[in-house]
Chain A
Amino acid sequence: NAGVTQTPKFRILKIGQSMTLQCTQDMNHNYMYWYRQDPGMGLKLIYYSVGAGITDKGEVPNGYNVSRSTTEDFPLRLELAAPSQTSVYFCASSHEGQGDEQYFGPGTRLTVT
């Protein structure tokens, strides 16, 4: 299994541009998550999904959108990039149920200038 994969690894955006961060998992997990991590800080939950067709907001959803049309894919969309969205973005997945561990992707490093 490849686990959780993310693309791209790095991206530089200009203010106002839009982009989609891709996330795919091949473990048939129901739950998927998007986090952001600012320098020297912990992770903050942006959005999560408990299954195909179901998404919900996390702690810091403003400026982002998600969709979950399949079990495998959970893309994160930035519509109007702002410097405050400069961060490292991690996608994660878990099977389901209480006590289940999350598996993280390698991250996407995004800079907005």
Chain B
Amino acid sequence: DAKTTQPTSMDCAEGRAANLPCNHSTISGNEYVYWYRQIHSQGPQYIIHGLKNNETNEMASLIITEDRKSSTLILPHATLRDTAVYYCIVRVAWDNYGQNFVFGPGTRLSVLP
């Protein structure tokens, strides 16, 4: 299983872009990179995912390096409501059944006024 490494915590000023890095140096060719976040005491919320191309949706952008060993989640204009724990996950398939999402400790992002 590919493991991910994220900083324990980060701060970002409100209105500025938040760039959250993730290292996944042992990722294999068929593994996706997912990002979820968890706002205090709530269930995790899906943000974005990608395989090798950069992706963008209404919430964020995902930049994956060409060698796929690292990625960056970008929240373009962070608000106070973006304060949460952000999880970078590399998905492993179990015999083509189900999806084993391994949630590590994540990065605690604090958006400051």
Tier of interface size on chain A: 20 to 34
- A106 at interface by CB-CB < 8 Å: yes
Q: Which residues of A contact B100 (CB under 8 A)?
A: 45, 58
Mostly, the A contact residues are strand
Q: Which residue of the partner chain, among A42, A45, A103, A105, contacts B106 with CB atoms under 8 Å? A: A42
- A31 at interface by CB-CB < 8 Å: yes
Q: Which residues of B contact A56 (CB under 8 A)?
A: 94, 97-98
- Contact of A100 with B99 in the complex, beta carbons under 8 Å: yes
Q: Which residue of the partner chain, among B43, B45, B87, B98, contacts A50 with CB atoms under 8 Å? A: B98
- A41 at interface by CB-CB < 8 Å: yes
- A74 at interface by CB-CB < 8 Å: no
List chain A positions with a Cβ less than 8 A from chain B: 4, 31, 33, 35, 37, 40-45, 48-50, 56, 58-59, 88, 90, 92, 94, 98-107
Q: Which 5 A-B pairs have the closest CB atoms?
A: A104-B43, A42-B103, A43-B103, A101-B46, A48-B98
List chain B positions with a Cβ less than 8 A from chain A: 32, 34, 41-46, 49, 51, 87, 91, 93-94, 97-106
